[in-house]
Structure 1
Amino acid sequence: MDPREKTRRLHVLLNLIRGLYKAIDNDWRKAAGELGLTPCQQHLLWILHFRNGSTLTELSEIGSWHVSTVMSMVDRMEKNGLVIKKVDDQDARIKRIFITEKGEQLQKQTLNGEKHFRLMTLLEQMDEKDIENGTKILYSLVKQLLGPNFIDFVDSTAKEIMNKKYD
């Protein structure tokens, strides 16, 4: 491939992906903000909803955060009564994070924020085959960049949603 074409392709992809991310992030901020949360806190509640009792390391891997970020986020959320830390029964060096009843109630309320996500409205207007093809590309890229554990989390929790296990 011509070096200019490689540069052009990278330029286009990086800017389009960044633009899409910024639009989604802005929508997510509005939805989370209505509940007094940040998007990261809302995301952490969802992760714990599906993987309650995760370690700080597991949360950092699923959430794509640095462990120190997870530690400070968990500390703030614990002060607000949304999560609790418990020492692992098998290994006292490990702390497990659990969602509280208050956190679970707030997580359920986040479903009402779907109206903020303009992406959902746009996807509903698109051809299903185009969405399927685009999703396959995203899966492939994310699997290569973040690894199979991340994809396993996405797939298993998506199945839980379809099986109504998340209620």
Structure 2
Amino acid sequence: MEQQTAYSLKQSIIFSHKFAQLSKALWKSVEKDWQTWIKPFNLNINEHHILWITYHLDGASISDIAKFGVMHVSTAFNFSKKLEERGLLTFSKREHDKRNTYVDLTEQGRELFLETLEAYKPSTYSVYGGALPIKDLYGKFPEFSELLSIVRHVYGPDFIDMFETALTRLEDGFIEEDGKLKAVDSETKSTV
């Protein structure tokens, strides 16, 4: 039996168009700022995103990278291969899972990823700057609850769980020191 739609076609088109336009505008800004941020490290966005995911998952399958990086499996594999050629990742199979290919950061890859975080400058991010008036007005940044709900329904709870895990690892695994983000080692973590 066909389910009745609760909204009109016109409302659907208006919502979809509004979402598409706003998403595209935000992505254009985010993409430009992200590329500028990582350019000194000779990385592109896909490569940096793979390093980011691999760091936060403490190793990841190519499938996980594709899923959480919102990229095709071949894109995840090909860019991971380039990172391996640069000595930033290693490929392996897991004893418990011979079907999937996994990647892990090398020490050089971990160091490079952490260097990119240290080099981040909030003042160069347009979207961040655009959110500052909201923070000034309400005392906090937007929390995106509606957007998270939409993404959860589109990509599933695993996607949001990984996203929240990455945010928690950022919150718990780094400190600000001299205006830079620094990874907290296990010894520092117990004293912070």
- Tell me the residue number matched to 2:163: 154
What's the CA shift string for 1:61-114, capped at 9, x where partnerless?
A: 111111111111111110011100112123433322000111111111222133
**In structure 2, C-alpha distance between the alignment counterparts of 1:70 and 1:3, rounded to whole Å:** 37
State whether residues 85 and 98 of structure 1, in contact with CA within 8 Å, keep that contact through their aligned partners in structure 2: yes
More strand by share: 2
Which SS does the other structure have where 2:114 is aligned? helix
Structure 1: which 5+ runs fail to align?
none
**In structure 1, C-alpha distance between the alignment counterparts of 2:152 and 2:19, rounded to whole Å:** 18
**In structure 1, C-alpha distance between the alignment counterparts of 2:73 and 2:8, rounded to whole Å:** 40
**In structure 1, C-alpha distance between the alignment counterparts of 2:169 and 2:101, rounded to whole Å:** 25
State whether residues 52 and 97 of structure 1, in contact with CA within 8 Å, keep that contact through their aligned partners in structure 2: no
Range 109-118 or range 97-106, more displaced: 109-118
Instruction: Name the TM-score, length of structure 1 as normaliser.
Output: 0.88
- Tell me the residue number matched to 1:117: 125
- Tell me the residue number matched to 1:57: 63
Larger-Rg structure: 2
Please give the root-mean-square deviation of Cα atoms over the aligned residues, in Å: 2.1
Segments ≥4 residues shifted beyond 4 Å: none
Which SS does the other structure have where 2:164 is aligned? helix
User: Once the 2 structures are TM-superposed, how far is the Cα of residue 164 of structure 1 from its aligned partner?
Assistant: 2.5
Distance verdict in 2 for CA 1:91–1:123, change over 3 Å:
same
What fraction of aligned residue pairs are identical, expressed as a percent?
A: 22
More helix by share: 1
User: Once the 2 structures are TM-superposed, how far is the Cα of residue 6 of structure 1 from its aligned partner?
Assistant: 3.6
**In structure 2, C-alpha distance between the alignment counterparts of 1:17 and 1:113, rounded to whole Å:** 23
Which SS does the other structure have where 2:173 is aligned? coil
State whether residues 59 and 70 of structure 1, in contact with CA within 8 Å, keep that contact through their aligned partners in structure 2: yes
- The aligned amino acid for 1:48 is T
